[in-house]
Every structure is written in C-alpha cells, then in structure tokens.
Structure 1
Amino acid sequence: MAQDPLQLVLKLALEAEEQAALLLKSAQLECQKRQQQLAALSNYRLDYMKQMQSQQGQSISASHYHQFHRFIRQIDDAITKQNHVVADGEKQKQYRQQHWLDKQKKRKAVELLLENKEQKRQALELKKEQKLTDEFASQQFFRRRQS
C-alpha cells in the first residue's frame, strides 16, 4: 500500500516543530544570559556605592568625588542599555514561543486529519465486512429454504 501523503506532511510538521522548539530554547538561554548580565551590572553598581559609602566621613578630594559620580553615571547608562537588551531578548523569546505554538498547532491538525482518515477507513472496512457477512447469511438462508 502506498504511503499516505499526509504522513509526509506530518513528518515535515514534526521537523518544523522540533526546529521551532530548538530556536525557543536558544532564545530562552539567551534571555537568561542577558538577565544575568543585567544583574551583574546592578550588583557591581551596588558594590561600588557601598564602597563609596564606607569612605563617607573621610576626606575625599573633589576630583575623586567627581570621578565617582561620572563612573556611576556610566554604570547607570550601561544598566539602561542592558535593560533594552533584556527587553529585546524577551520579545524575541515571545516571538519564538508563539512560532513554536503555531508549529505545534499545525502538527496536531495534521495528526487529527490522519486520525479522522483512519477512522473513516476503519468504518468503511467494517461496512464491507458487514456487507459480506450479510450476503453470506442471505445465501445460507436461501440455500436452506431451497433444500
């Protein structure tokens, strides 16, 4: 019996779903990495602020104080940029998740088509068997009547 073309469609749908799942996993890992980088920047800023606070009460030169504020601004700018990078990563992750869900939906639809086709084939097979059984029973009935 020739293979059903829907089997090929199902195979392709499965491959597309698997590829989409790999892309989603990659996006999730990238998003996690970006969030870790943001956390590292925030922790670095906090540590630097604590270090400066521990020097409070000591005399610091104006240039050192100015450098401290300039450095904090640079860290804040880096944190702002990293927030954008994290947001972009989240968007990419959401896009890939939706893409994977779409591929999953297509695969399930093909599976449902195949299942319905198989049910119809089985129903047709049962109908044929029933017809043969009915014909056989009829022939036996007529043979008995004639004898």
Structure 2
Amino acid sequence: MAKHDPLDTVLKLATEAEEQAALQLQSAQLALQKCQSQLEALRNYRLDYMKQMETNHGKTINASYYHQFHQFVRQIDEAIVKQIASVTEADTQRLHRQQYWQEKQQKRKAVELLLAHKAEKAQQAELRREQKLIDEFASQQFYRKRSR
C-alpha cells in the first residue's frame, strides 16, 4: 500500500480553492455582462426617445411637452451615468476575481510541481536501489563462478 503524501491533501485543497475562485470569476463576468447590457439598453432607449422627438421637429409643440421631454432625457442621462458607474464597479470586481483566480491557479501549479519533483526523486532513488541490487547480484554470480 502506498503511503499518503501530505502534499496530495495540499493539492486537493489548492484545486478546490482554484475551482471556487473560477466560479467567483465566472459570476463576476456574468454580472459585468449584465451591467453592460443594461447600459446599452439605456443608451438605446435614450436614442429612440431622441429620434421620437426629432420626428416632431418642425411641428408645433407646447412648452409643457418640451419641458417634460427635457426632464425625462435628463433622468435617462442620470440613469446612464449611474449605470456607467455600475459597469466600472463590476469590471473592477471582475479584475479582482481574475487576479484571485490566477493566484489560486499559480499555487495549485506550484504544488503539482513539488509533487512531480518528489516523484522524480523517488523514481531516481528506486532506480539506484534496483541498480545496486543488480550490481550485488552480478558480483555474487561472479564470486560464485570464481570459487568453483
């Protein structure tokens, strides 16, 4: 039965941490996409509203309607500014999550590298042990043949 290496446990924990970080990154990317879509929708809504006003260009409109129009456009502009801030915040979160995931990935790879080096050393030690046994066997055969 093979001995359990504590580094295997460390690797398992590092892999789980990396997977969690990847899920958090994915969630942050989805949140960013949602914010960007909402911003795009607000901008399109504003554009459509402005085009609607443009179709009334040249027509007589009352001052109250004109005032309401400008007030509504201002509200849309304020919503756009807030949404830009939300996009910026979501992108910052995504960048933090990406950096965190990369750190976890780097730790996992380091543990894998340690395990690979350890396995290589063990294999080299086993090869030396086998070679020593082969040498001993060969020398015993040589001495047996000589002593006959």
- Normalising by structure 1, we get a TM-score of 0.98
Aligned to 1:100: 101
Pairwise CA RMSD: 0.7
CA distance in 2, matches of 1:146, 1:36: 91
* Percent of residue pairs bearing the same amino acid type: 63
Deviation at 1:20, TM superposition (A): 0.3
Count of paired positions: 147
Aligned to 1:29: 30
Q: Structure 2: any 5+ residue segments left out of the alignment? A: none
Aligned to 2:70: 69
What one-letter code is carried by the residue in structure 1 that aligns with 2:27?
S
Moved over 4 A (4+): none
User: For residues 1-147 of structure 1, what are the structure 2 equivalents within 5 Å?
Assistant: 1-147=2-148
Q: Structure 1: any 5+ residue segments left out of the alignment? A: none
- Normalising by structure 2, we get a TM-score of 0.97
CA distance in 1, matches of 2:86, 2:34: 11
Q: Deviations over 1:18-77 (max 9, x none)?
A: 000000000010000000000010000000000000011110111111111111111111
What one-letter code is carried by the residue in structure 1 that aligns with 2:97?
R
